Amino acid sequence: MSVRARIAPFADTVLPWLAFAAMVTALACVFLYVPNERMQGPVQRIFYFHVNSAWSAFMGFGVAAAASALFLWRGDPTYDRLARAAVEVGMLFCTMVLVTGPIWARPIWGTWWTWDPRLTMTVILWTVYAVYLVLRSMGQDDPQIARYAAVLAIVGVLDVPLIMISVRLWRGMHPSVISAPAGTGGIQDPRMIVTLVVALVAFALLFLWLLWRRAEALRLEDELHALADDADAVDGRAAVRRTAP
């Protein structure tokens, strides 16, 4: 039995309900359980969506890079589909980061956007994988384009560790909320840690479910294309026989 056949029953029936329950629990924690942050007030609650969207995006691009490396090594289209699905889901969460960030920044910084090092590198990360998706959409089933895109997915993920350490490497406006010293803002209440962990689990489950559904959709597309090619080949042979003397 293949790996897909073993995990399909869980991914199709159990995983969506787990993701749904976890997201409802996370929403309850964010809006009903966790207290307001002392310095930023209620607007800080967007932190639990913003940070976990970033981590989910990083996870997606990491999976894409690993799957792309396996695709280049083994040439198995399964890894190529996984990489493409991971990039698409990662882009969804990365876009959420770039949307929730300005919403959070406006009341805190007094501006929607500033070219802070972390923000700039996040835009670069989004752009790299947007180019990946454009490349794949233009290349269709071209195996050479798939290999070029795989290389791009591997190179693009190198931006992730730079984003994570940018607050320490370069002085910018972006806060380091999780590691902020006591009394300077950030996580100071145990309930904030609980909420962050619950939201992390919820976003991870949502990521896995979306990744599974997108990978399955791409697999079905490939099977349909293969069936269409077989049907065209059969029609071609039948036409040849009809025109033969």
Q: What is the pLDDT of residue 104?
A: 83
DSSP code per residue over 38-89: TTTBGGGGGHHHHHHHHHHHHHHHHHHHHHHHHHHHH--HHHHHHHHHHHHH
How many CA atoms lie within 13 Å of 66's alpha carbon, on the beta-carbon side?
A: 7
pTM confidence score = 0.86
Element (H, E) at 181: none
Helices assigned H by DSSP within 110-189: 117-139, 143-156, 159-169
Each domain of the chain, given as residue ranges in start order, spans 27-176+186-243
Query: What average pLDDT does range 26-41 have in this prediction?
Result: 88
185 has a pLDDT exceeding 80: no
Q: What is the pLDDT of residue 107?
A: 81
pLDDT tens digit string along 138-181?
877 778 898 999 999 999 999 898 888 766 666 655 555 555 55
Q: What is the pLDDT of residue 154?
A: 96
Q: What is the pLDDT of residue 29?
A: 94
pLDDT tens digit string along 99-148?
998 888 788 777 777 777 788 889 999 999 999 999 998 877 778 898 99
Q: State the Cα–Cα distance between residues 206 and 210, nearest whole angstrom.
A: 6
> Between these two residues, 199 and 102, which has the higher pLDDT value?
199
Q: State the Cα–Cα distance between residues 93 and 50, nearest whole angstrom.
A: 9
Percent helix, strand and coil across the chain, each rounded to 5? 80, 0, 20
Query: How many beta carbons lie within 10 A of that of residue 46, not counting itself?
Result: 17
pLDDT tens digit string along 45-60?
899 999 999 999 999 9
Tokens representing 74 are 């083994």
